[in-house]
Amino acid sequence: MRLSERFSSALEYAARLHSTQARKGTPIPYVAHLLAVSSLVLEHGGDEDEAIAALLHDAVEDQGGAETAAEIRRRFGDRVTDIVLGCTDTDVFPKPPWRPRKEAHLERLRSAPFSVLLVAAADKLHNARTLLGEYRQQGEQVWMRFNGGREGTLWYYRATLELLRQRAAGSLVDELTRVVADLEALSGHRG
C-alpha cells in the first residue's frame, strides 16, 4: 500500500498538536508514541485511514476535546474521526476520575468496530512495551507516574487484553498478551 498526502498531512498535524507534550515521566517527544502506534497498525494490515487515526488517537483526549474532533473530521473525514473517537476515553477537561473513565471506555470498546480495536490494540501494545522497558530500568518507582498505580494499571491492561482477545484476536493481541504477562511476572502481580 502506498500512503498518500493525507497521511503526511496527518503526521504534520499530529506533530504540531502534540509538540509540547512528552511521554509521561520522560523527555521523549510524544510524537514518538504516535509514530509507533501508526507503524504497528500498518504492520498488522491497517489501511491509510486506520494509520491516520493511529497518529491522531490521543488528539481529542489530550489536545482540545470536541473542537479537535471537529477539526479532524474536517481535515480527514468521518471514518478517521470515528476511529479516533472510539479510542478516546474522554473529551472533557479536567478529565473525570480515572477508574470510572477507564471502565466506561472498556464498555464502549465491547461494541466498537474492528478499526477501533486495531488502533486500540496497537496503542496498548506500544504503551505496554514501553512500560515493561521502563520497569526493567526503574523498578517499582515507575508506577508512581500512573494514575491507576500498579494495581489499577495492570487491571486496565488485563481487562483490555481480555476484551481484545474476544473481539480482535491476532498476532498484535498475542504480542500484547506476552508483554502484559512479562510485566505482571516482573512486578510480582497476581492477576
Q: Which residue has the higher pLDDT, 132 or 1?
A: 132
* Placement of cell 484476536 in the chain: 169
How confident is the model over 170-175, as a mean pLDDT? 95
- Percent of the chain residues past pLDDT 70, beyond the cut: 98
When pLDDT is cut at 50, 70 and 90, the band that residue 25 belongs to is confident
pLDDT tens readout for residues 29-63: 999 999 999 999 999 999 999 999 999 999 999 99
Helices (H), the chain: 5-17, 31-43, 48-56, 59-62, 65-87, 98-109, 114-138, 149-167, 171-187
What is the predicted pLDDT for the residue at 1? 84
Confidence (pTM): 0.95
Q: What is the mean pLDDT of the chain?
A: 95
The pair phi, psi for residue 22, each rounded to 5°, is: -115, 160
The catalytically annotated residue of 49, 61, 71, 82 is 61
Indicate the domain borders of the chain.
5-187
Would you call the peptide bond into 94 cis, given omega within 30 degrees of 0 as the criterion?
yes
- The Cβ-side half-sphere exposure at 146, using a 13 Å CA radius, reads 21
62 is catalytic: yes
What is the predicted pLDDT for the residue at 73? 98
d(CA 98, CA 170): 29
How confident is the model over 59-70, as a mean pLDDT? 96
Q: What is the DSSP letter of 93?
A: S
Residue 23 has pLDDT above 60, yes or no: yes
Residue 191 has pLDDT above 70, yes or no: no
Q: CATH 1.10.3210.10: does it fit domain 5-187?
A: yes
The catalytically annotated residue of 47, 62, 91, 184 is 62
What is the predicted pLDDT for the residue at 182? 95
CA distances from 179 to 73, 75, 98, 104, 125 (A): 34, 35, 23, 24, 8
107 is catalytic: no
